[in-house]
Amino acid sequence: MELIRIPRIMHDTSRGHILHGRSIGFVPTMGALHEGHLSLIKRSKDENDITVVSIFVNPLQFGPSEDFQQYPRDTDGDVAKLRKAEADVLFMPDASQVYPSGFMTHIEVGEISEKLCGAFRPGHFRGVVTIVAKLFNIVKPTRAYFGQKDFQQAAVIRKMVKDLDVPVDVVVSPTIREHDGLAMSSRNLYLNEEERKAACVIYRCLIQTSELLKSGIINKEKLKGFMKEKLSAEPLVREIQYASMYDPETLDEVENAGKEVLLAVSVKIGGTRLIDNMLVKA
Ligand code: PAF
């Protein structure tokens, strides 16, 4: 596996592959790699000639009171996992190369950035989209891979790609889960033993709500009430930020499920914010 730290060298390496007619699959990450990331890498390897993985903990997408400093970093462990997964290139730039002094350009996707997580993390998606656009320009992927756990992130990136005519296919892969259903996330590392046990209430809530929906209960207020009841029955759930049924395209809440809907949840367990979602056909 080739390790590249300088954007210019990544740019030239990708140009070389493109000139040779090779497709490039790209998995952008912030490191602390888990099975979810590895499943994206596997898919990229199956569908492309070259797989590039980036590790960059992007300061721009963290709010001032968020966990940028504490975000788990494990470069040696990540490199070992990437070698085992047979990634071709690891792109791991320094912040000073990505955001040199004087950097002042940002990309903002409108409305869909402001709902769900966006309402609780002002500026988060602006930071995500700006770094993803930069990484796309540097890596020049044919396809880029994201997990469904971050459904809104994928939707916002898709919109940016469409609106700005970025020539990249955005591929969204299913959420990878722990044995008890908890969606894999680098932030699960923050949970203590008790919190970790409590966290599976999120998946249980999504499963039970999807069963209700499939049994014919399609009204938002009823489903939302059910979700809130389930989540708040777990004493370690400190805050329910959102838990409802949404249109997967617009991310607006849906009054009565007609076609496919997105069930999405964000809760705080202890100090850790966890999100999850499920697409359900009513
Ligand atoms: O999902 C993530 O890990 C990050 O938001 C991403 C897409 C790598 C941008 O920093």
Give residue limits of the domains in the chain.
2-173, 186-277
Average pLDDT rounded to a whole number, residues 44-55: 99
Average of per-residue pLDDT across 98-123: 98
**% residues pLDDT > 90 (the chain):** 99
The CATH code of the domain at 2-173 is 3.40.50.620
Residue 128 alpha carbon to ligand 1 centre in Å: 6
Q: Is 150 in the pocket of ligand 1 (CB under 6 A)?
A: yes
Mean model confidence pLDDT for the chain: 98
Judging by DSSP bridges, how do beta strands 50-55 and 24-29 pair with one another?
parallel
Would you say the CB of residue 14 lies under 6 angstroms from ligand 1? no
**Element of type H or E holding 73:** none
Confidence of residue 238 (pLDDT cuts 50, 70, 90): very high
pTM, two decimals, is 0.97
Report residue 35 as tokens: 């099975």
- Quick one: pLDDT band at residue 251, thresholds 50, 70, 90? very high
For tokens 């950097």, name the residue: 103
Across the range 196-207, mean pLDDT stands at 98
Catalytic residues: 37
210: three-class secondary structure by DSSP: helix
Is 28 touching ligand 1 by the criterion CB < 6 Å?
yes
> What CATH fold (topology level) applies to the domain 186-277?
Pantoate--beta-alanine Ligase; Chain: A,domain 2 (3.30.1300)
Q: What is the mean pLDDT of the segment spanning 158-185?
A: 98
Residue of the nearest CA to atom 1 in ligand 1?
A: 29
Q: What is the H or E stretch that residue 107 is in?
A: none
Q: Ligand 1 in contact with 29 (CB < 6 A)?
A: yes
Give distance in angstroms: CA of 240 to centre of ligand 1.
23
CA 202 / ligand 1 centre spacing (Å): 22
Distance, CA 83 to ligand 1 centroid (Å)?
21
How remote is the CA of residue 55 from the centroid of ligand 1, in Å?
9
**Of ligand 1's atoms, which has the minimum distance to the CA of residue 58?**
10
Residue 25 has pLDDT above 90, yes or no: yes
pLDDT on residue 282: 80
Say whether 186-277 and 2-173 share the same fold.
no
- Hey, which of 53, 146, 148, 153 would you mutate to test ligand 1's pocket, going by the most ligand atoms within 8 Å of its Cβ? 153
Q: Whose CA is nearest to atom 6 of ligand 1?
A: 29
Sequence-ordered strand ranges (E) for the chain: 2-4, 24-29, 50-55, 89-91, 143-147, 169-173, 237-246, 260-269, 272-281
Statement: residue 189 has pLDDT above 90: yes
Our answer on whether the CB atom of 131 is closer than 6 Å to any ligand 1 atom is: yes
Q: What angle do CA 270, 275, 276 make, to 5 degrees?
A: 135
